[in-house]
């Protein structure tokens, strides 16, 4: 679910303070975009929102969530705005929970999980 190798690499690259700021910014922006996702806004808007979420999620190691966003983004790029937004929202919530738990647990983590 979480690519801890990516998380740890990002933290090492930018330092603990900047990492905390990146996490806060990502979660604030992702919360906003996830809450406004709608199939009714049309494929172009859905594609843009899912593209943003995919990129941000990959940067922060939310691997499963990013994968679902990519699938929806590809469909929307073909004019299909029927992405399973409930599944995407559930994956985001589960990823946030796993991420928070992982950050709170000291010690080594698996590359994904």
CA torsion through residues 16, 22, 28, 34, sign:
negative
Domains and CATH numbers, the chain: 4-104 (1.20.120.160)
Which residue positions in the chain have pLDDT lower than 70? 106-113
Give Cβ neighbours of residue 23 (< 8 Å, ≥ 6 apart). 60
| pLDDT score recorded for residue 106 | 63
| pTM of this structure | 0.88
| pLDDT score recorded for residue 86 | 96
Distance in angstroms (rounded) separating the CA atoms of residues 54 and 21: 19
pLDDT per position as a tens digit, 42-55: 999 999 999 999 99
DSSP structure string for 91-113 = HHHHHHHHHHHHHHS-S---SB-
């Amino acid at each position: 679910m979480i690519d801890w190798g990516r998380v740890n690499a990002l933290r090492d690259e930018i330092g603990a303070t900047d990492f905390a700021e990146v996490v806060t910014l990502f979660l604030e922006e992702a919360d906003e975009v996830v809450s406004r996702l709608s199939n009714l806004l049309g494929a172009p808007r859905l594609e843009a929102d899912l593209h943003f979420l995919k990129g941000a999620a990959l940067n922060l190691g939310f691997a499963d969530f990013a994968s679902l966003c990519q699938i929806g983004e590809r469909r929307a790029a073909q004019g299909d705005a029927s992405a399973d937004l409930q599944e995407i929202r559930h994956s985001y919530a589960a990823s946030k929970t796993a991420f928070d738990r992982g950050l709170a647990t000291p010690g080594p983590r698996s590359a994904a999980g």
